[in-house]
Amino acid sequence: MSASSPARPASIDKLVQRFQKVSDPKRRYEQLLWLAKKLDPFPEAAKQDDNKVKGCVSQVYIIADLEDGAVKYLGDSDAQITKGLVAFLIRGLNGLTPQEITNLSPDFIKETQLDVSLTPSRANGFYNIFKMMQQKASELAGTE
């Protein structure tokens, strides 16, 4: 983390460190699959176009709610690796304020080295999922 960037949330730092410790891309995939299994169930009724992440090869859905000033996400994907990426971001962003999420730079994605392990379309999808989550947080900030 550079001195010029604002402090990154501990939840994100913890995930970044966990993935940095793993040098084998196959093990990173295994971690993503493990995270995917831990994801809370996603309501079928929320699988609507306005909750769908654009620019993903897989079907990816994200919804967000505000609970006591903190964002709570739910997400789903029809592909397990992508579902793991969704779970990674949910784990890192849940419980943060909309402001913390909208201010967060996507630099942490590179630091996980997941973008190296992923196909270019998946890596791009990872950024698109993050951007959608930021957009949802921004919308929630407007309703506070």
Closest by Cα among 91, 94, 61 to 79: 61
Q: Is 66 helix (H, G, I), strand (E, B) or coil?
A: strand
Residue linked to tokens 């940095």: 20
Rounded Cα gap, residues 129 and 91, in angstroms: 13
Is residue 56 annotated as part of the catalytic site, yes or no? yes
CA 31 remoteness from chain centre: 14
Q: Is 124 helix (H, G, I), strand (E, B) or coil?
A: helix
Rounded Cα gap, residues 63 and 52, in angstroms: 9
Catalytic residue, chosen from 56, 81, 86, 87, is: 56
Annotated catalytic residues are 56
